[in-house]
Structure 1
Amino acid sequence: MAEQRTLVLGGARSGKSIAAERLLADVPDVVYVATGGDDAGNAEWADRVAKHRSRRPATWGLAETIDLVPLLETPGPPLLIDCLTLWLSRTMDAVGVWSELSRSGSTGEPANAAATLEERIAGLVTAWSATPRRVVAVSNDVGSGIVPADPGTRLFRDLMGRLNTSISLASDQVLWTIAGRTLPLT
C-alpha cells in the first residue's frame, strides 16, 4: 500500500521533484500544486517551469497557489506539492516578514509578522497531519551549509528547518534525495 503522506527532502537540483513525480507516476489524476508563483520575465525560471511541465502526465491537474490548507482539508485526488521551500518564502512575503525585518533592523524575528507566519506554519502542519488525500511534498534541506551572515537569511533557514521537521514528524514516509538517488529516512 502507498504511503498517505510522503516528504521528499534534498538539496537544490538533487532530483527531489523527479523522485516525487515517480512516486505518483501510476496515478492518472494527481493535482500538481506549484507554490513558486509567477516570475514573469525571468527566462531561467520559465525554463525550469517548462521542464517540470514536460515531465508531468497530461492527465495531471495543476494548482498554482500557496493556499495549501484548503487543498489538504478537502477530499480529492492525490496532491504533489512542489515545493514547501517556495511556499515558506512566498508566505513570508505575504505576511510581511521581510519588510518588517528590514524596517526593524533587528537581529531577531519580527514580532507581528513572525506570529502570523507561525500560525500559518502550524495550520499547514495540522492540515498535513489530517489530510484525507494521498500527498507528496518536496522540500529543500537548507540547513546543511554555513551559518548565514545576515538575519533574514538565518531566519529563513531556521524556519525552513522547523517546517521540514514538523512535516517530517507528521509524515508516513520521508525520503532523502541526493545526486539523483533517493533513500528512505527512518
Structure 2
Amino acid sequence: MPDRTLILGGARSGKSLAAERLLADVPDVLYVATGGDDAGSAEWADRVAKHQARRPPTWGLIETIDLIPLLESPGPPLLVDCLTLWLSRTMDAHDTWSDLTRSPAIDQAIADLAAAWSATPRRTVAVSNDIGAGVVPADPGTRLFRDLMGRLNTAISLTSTTALYTIAGRTLPLT
C-alpha cells in the first residue's frame, strides 16, 4: 500500500510547509487545492500566492473538492490542502448551514472520502486543521462544523499510514 500521511495542526502552525517538505524530492506531485477562489478577497489571494510561490514549478495543480476520483485513480503523489476547506465546501454544497442538524449526506461524504483514502493507489499527503482542542463554540453552526471536523480527522487518521501533528512549525509523529 502506498504511504498515506495526515498532517494535523492549528491555524498557521506550519502544516502546509510540513506537507510540502515531505514531497519536496518528488518532481511530479499533484497539488489539490480545496479552498476555492474566494473571489475579491485580497487576504485570500495573498495566501494563495504564497502557497504557489513555495511549490516547485514541476508540480501540477487542481482546484476541486471532488477528491474521490483522484484518490481512486493511479498517478503521481497527491498533496491535498486541505481537508478543513473540503468539509466547509462540502457542507456548502449540501446546504448544511441552513439546517444545522447532522446531515446523513455529510456523514456519507466523510465515510466515502475515508474509504477512498484508505484504498488509494497513490502516495498521498493531506493537511487538516485540528479545531477541537479549544473552547466550545457559542453557536450551533460552528459546533456542528467542529464535531464533523473531528469525525473527518479521526476517519482519515485511522486509515493513514502516518499521522503527524504540527505546532509552532514543529512536526511531531502521532502514534
TM-score range, shorter chain: over 0.9
SS in 1 for 2:163: strand
**Regions of 4+ moved over 4 Å:** none
SS in 1 for 2:160: coil
Partner residue in 1 for 2:3: 4
- The within-5 A match list for 1:92-111 is 92-101=91-100, 109-110=101-102
SS in 2 for 1:32: strand
Q: Deviations over 1:108-155 (max 9, x none)?
A: x25xxx111111111100000000000000000000100011111000
Aligned residue type for 2:122: R
- Paired residues of 1:3 and 1:173 also in contact (CA < 8 A): no
**2:162 is equivalent to residue 163 of structure 1:** no
**2:153 is equivalent to residue 154 of structure 1:** no
Aligned residue type for 1:181: R
Count of aligned pairs between the two proteins = 175
Partner residue in 1 for 2:24: 25
Structure 1 or 2, whichever has the larger Rg, is: 1
1:100 Cα offset (Å): 2.2
Partner residue in 2 for 1:134: 123
Unaligned runs of 5+ in 1: 102-108
**2:171 is equivalent to residue 182 of structure 1:** yes
Q: What's the TM-score once normalised by structure 1's chain length?
A: 0.92
Query: Percent identity, aligned pairs only?
Result: 77
- Paired residues of 2:32 and 2:79 also in contact (CA < 8 A): yes
Aligned residue type for 1:84: L
Q: What's the TM-score once normalised by structure 2's chain length?
A: 0.98
Query: In 1, Cα distance between the equivalents of 2:154 and 2:104?
Result: 19
Unaligned runs of 5+ in 2: none
CA RMSD of aligned residues (A): 1.1
- Paired residues of 2:2 and 2:122 also in contact (CA < 8 A): no
